[in-house]
Amino acid sequence: HHLTEKMSTSLRSSRGIKLMKSGHFSDVCIRIDCISFRCHKIILACASEFFERLFQEDSEEFLLDGTTPEVFQIFLDFIYAPNDDQFGNLEPDVLMCLLKCANMWLAVEIEERCIDILLDLSPDMDPDALIALFAVSHCVDHKVLMEQSIGVLQHIWRNEMDCPSTVRMEVDCFGEYFKNTSGMLSPRRRFVMVENWIKGNDLNNRPCSQKDKINQIIKSINFLEMSLEDFYNGPGKSNVLPDSDKFEIMYKLARSNNEWTVILDERDRDRYYIIVFVKKKSTKFVFYLKLI
C-alpha cells in the first residue's frame, strides 16, 4: 500500500514538474523584476490564500513585490511537485527569505516546513545568522522561533549578542531583541549597541514615534551599575544622551560613592554651569551643563 502511494506521489510530482516547465494550460503570468513565470491559477490558489484573493481580479498578469525570482522559483517547485526533502539543502538565509514570503502569501504548509527546518538548524548557526533568524521570526510573529534563536545566542554566543548585524534590525525588532541582552551584556556595551544602531539608521530622518521608541530603549539601561569613570568616558562623551541626563546620572553615581566630591559652580558664565567631579584630589572630571 505504501509503495503504491509513494509511486502515485512520485507520478504526480513528475507531472507537476512537466506542467510547470512546459507552461501547458497556463492561465496567468507572474512578473518579478524583469522575470516572468507562466503559472496555473488553480495550483497557486490551492497553495496560497494570498494568490486565491489576488486572482479574483480579472487579469492574466500580476507584478509581485517583496521577493526575488530565485525564491519564487523554489516556492513554485514545491507547490507543483511537493517533496518531503525539498528544502533540506537550502542555506539558512534562503530558508529565511522563503519563510517571510510564505508568511506574506499565507502559504501555511511551506511556512511550517521552513520553521521546522530552521529550528533544527539554529543550534549550529553563527551569531549573524541567529540575529537574522530572530529578525525574521519577529517579522512573521513566531514566538517559538524567536525564543530558540535568543536561547542559542544566550547559551553559546553570549559575548557576541551585540555584533554589528543588530544594526540591520527594524526599530520594533531591535527593541524586543535589546530586552534579551539585559543581564547578558554590561550597561556600557548595551549603550554602545544602541549608539551603533542610531548611527546606522539615520534617526534624524525617522518618524518621531521611532525616536520615542529608541529613547525608551536607552532609558531601560541601568547606568547606575557603571562606575563614574566608565560612564564619563563612554555614554558621558556621547551625543545620544542629553546633557541634563548625563549630569543627573553622574551626580547619582558620585553621591553613591564616598570617594567622590561634587563641586558645582553656579556662576552664569556663557549660560553654562561648571560641575567638577573630584576623586581624592587625583582624578578630576569637568562637566559643562548648558542652561536652558
Q: What is the 3-state secondary structure (H, E, C) of the chain?
A: CHHHHHHHHHHHHHHHHHHHHHCCCCCEEEEECCEEEEECHHHHHHHCHHHHHHCCCCCCEEECCCCCHHHHHHHHHHHHCCCCCCCCCCCHHHHHHHHHHHHHCCCHHHHHHHHHHHHHHHHHCCHHHHHHHHHHHHHCCCHHHHHHHHHHHHHHCHHHCCCHHHHHCCHHHHHHHHHCCECCECHHHHHHHHHHHHHHHCHHHCCHHHHHHHHHHHHCCCHHHCCHHHHHHCHHHCCCCCHHHHHHHHHHHHHCCCCEEEEEEEEEECCEEEEEEEECCCEEEEEEEECC
- At residue 80, the pLDDT reads 87
The mean pLDDT of the chain is 86
- At residue 282, the pLDDT reads 60
- At residue 8, the pLDDT reads 39
Between 166-170, 181-185, 216-220, 251-255, the lowest mean confidence (pLDDT) is in: 251-255
pTM for the structure as a whole: 0.83
User: Percent of the chain scored above 90 by pLDDT?
Assistant: 65
- At residue 82, the pLDDT reads 82
